[in-house]
Structure 1
Amino acid sequence: MHEINNSSLFIIFILVLIPIIISYKQKLGIGSEIIVSSIRGFIQLLLLGFFVSSLFSLEKWYVVLGCILLMTVIASLNISRRGDEYRSSFWIGLISIFMSVSVCLTSWILFDIIPFEAQYLLPVAGMFIGTAMVSGSVVFETLKKNIKEMEDLTSIRNESIKLAMIPSIDGLKTVGLVQIPGTMTGMILAGGNPFESVKYQIFILFTLLVVTSLTAILTSYFKLRYKTLQGNKIK
């Protein structure tokens, strides 16, 4: 692989200006969010580059699980801003992400897909948590826009779950035809066996679909359940 120089990084920052300018021109209201997210992502990745060796060398199991829990909390804090009530959205997001990621991560360990080591657990858990976070965000955003009155909750729930799952489903339809997934690309570029990389990618894609669906279902269920209880209290 060619080394990415500073000039290339500068060019990609210039390209990021395109969606920002479009947002302001079209009055989408997400220009500031794109700027903040880009700066945060840049800084966070730089910090990860400095500390990744230390993180991957962690040996105590409770420290590794503590890191995963911290990642889950951060993801829950992020998606809680998409909900209509910050505190309840945080706890709903935390429980939903924790449950869906725990099921899938435990399955990977039990079936010996990855060993119980920080070097493998943290990247895989991060991938699952990130996917769950996006799914939860879509559900919260959809519910916030559609819950006006406590009517037809089934349709509202189904719509939020469907919207959250569309990217994963469409991704599976075109994988191998339109795109070569990231993990498979990385393994091939590193000189790995293409068929072995395919096996890992299948596990990853199918697991991410499960994570997405579980998080969407749990988030919508807990959120609507909470709304129903709140409505009964008011009555």
Structure 2
Amino acid sequence: MVVAVLLGAAVAWAARLGTSRATVTAALRATLQLGVVSMLIGGIVGSFALSALFVAVMVVVAARTAGRRMTGSGSGWWAALPVAVTPLPVVGALVLAGVVPANGISVIPTAGILIGGTMTATALAGKRALDELEARRGEVEAALSLGFVARDAAIEIARPSAASALVPVTDQTRTVGLVTLPGAFVGMLLGGASPVQAGAVQLLVLVLLLAVETVAVALAVELVCRGRIHRDTEPAAIRAERAHPGRFSAGGGTAPRRSPAPTPG
């Protein structure tokens, strides 16, 4: 493991990717965090209340991580909405339906997989949407000057790039069994389950991930285009117009609502 980390860091340094330090830091954090969780998990899973509290901590950490990936401003905490509102109801429904037993050893890993997926999808979608709006700011301002509501002007620009955040989970679902054998499948096989049982569980996980990440991306795009998630470098007038549609315009007056049109230029 040490050799693998050092190799990854060395290649990143030689190729000037700028991720060599992040590689080492991520490996050290993973070692520390998994070590602590491994020592505590035995006591946690025995109590449903403690398991629920642990899931809540997972949501907070995931929201913070996704928010920091998107923006350095305090608006990044809005990432808690897509990170929490999609996986938690799904986990609750699985428990109520009897698909997942109501105990910590089942709820924690199920919630962890779904929360981790929505964290990644939210971070990628929000970051790409904000990057695109920043790079094409002139098009947004041009649409505002024509009287478009800021949310409508922004979403036509941000949505295509943000949707690419679903490429990893879509490709994983399409190629499962042909290119990759995901962790849930392998873990169940190693735990003594039959290949059919392992395949059924893995299929459920993949389909749920595809669903919750799609919802998370849609919510992240809306939060960005409505100005809830923003960067401090973005003009305050545009942020205000997106947060309060129709109240402001680029020229200082009230902007009439219009339906989205093809992106200018």
Shift of 1:175: 0.5
* CA distance in 1 between partners of 2:6 and 2:94 (Å): 40
1:209-235 CA-to-partner distances (Å, cap 9, x unmatched) read 112111111111112111587242685
Q: Which runs of 5+ in 2 are unaligned?
A: 141-152, 231-236, 242-247, 253-265
Is the Cα–Cα contact under 8 Å of residues 161 and 213 in structure 1 kept in the other structure? no
Q: Cα 1:69–1:19, aligned 2, differ >3 Å: closer, same or farther?
A: same
Rg comparison, structure with higher value: 2
* CA distance in 1 between partners of 2:7 and 2:160 (Å): 31
Aligned counterpart, 1:80:
67
Aligned counterpart, 1:102:
88
The correspondence of residues 123-162 of structure 1 with structure 2, limited to 5 A, is 123-148=109-134, 149=137, 151=140, 152-162=153-163
Tell me if 1:211 matches 2:197.
Answer: no
Shift of 1:106: 2.3
Is the Cα–Cα contact under 8 Å of residues 133 and 158 in structure 2 kept in the other structure? no
* CA distance in 2 between partners of 1:34 and 1:140 (Å): 23
* CA distance in 2 between partners of 1:160 and 1:81 (Å): 19
More helix by share: 1
* CA distance in 2 between partners of 1:105 and 1:156 (Å): 33
Please identify, of 200-209 and 189-198, the stretch whose mean Cα deviation from structure 2 is larger. Answer: 189-198
> Any runs of at least 4 consecutive aligned residues in structure 1 with deviations exceeding 6 A, and if so which?
none
* CA distance in 2 between partners of 1:16 and 1:155 (Å): 41
* CA distance in 2 between partners of 1:25 and 1:102 (Å): 42
Which secondary structure does the structure 2 equivalent of 1:79 belong to? helix
* CA distance in 2 between partners of 1:59 and 1:173 (Å): 35
TM (normalized to structure 1)? 0.86
Which secondary structure does the structure 2 equivalent of 1:114 belong to? coil
Q: CA RMSD in A?
A: 2.0
Which secondary structure does the structure 2 equivalent of 1:147 belong to? helix
* CA distance in 2 between partners of 1:155 and 1:34 (Å): 35
1:157-189 CA-to-partner distances (Å, cap 9, x unmatched) read 323432211001111111111122211111112
In structure 2, give the amino acid aligned to 1:199. Answer: A
Which secondary structure does the structure 1 equivalent of 2:99 belong to? coil
Aligned counterpart, 1:117:
103
* CA distance in 2 between partners of 1:156 and 1:129 (Å): 27
Q: Which runs of 5+ in 1 are unaligned?
A: 1-11
Aligned counterpart, 1:7:
none
* CA distance in 2 between partners of 1:229 and 1:100 (Å): 29
* CA distance in 2 between partners of 1:68 and 1:59 (Å): 10
The percentage of aligned residue pairs carrying the same residue is: 20
Tell me if 1:20 matches 2:29.
Answer: no
1:25-69 CA-to-partner distances (Å, cap 9, x unmatched) read 232222222221111011111111111101111133xx4332211
The correspondence of residues 153-232 of structure 1 with structure 2, limited to 5 A, is 153-226=154-227, 230-232=239-241
Q: Cα 1:171–1:64, aligned 2, differ >3 Å: closer, same or farther?
A: same
Aligned length: 221
TM (normalized to structure 2)? 0.77
Is the Cα–Cα contact under 8 Å of residues 138 and 160 in structure 1 kept in the other structure? no
* CA distance in 2 between partners of 1:156 and 1:65 (Å): 39
Is the Cα–Cα contact under 8 Å of residues 132 and 212 in structure 1 kept in the other structure? yes
1:187-216 CA-to-partner distances (Å, cap 9, x unmatched) read 112221211111111111100111211111
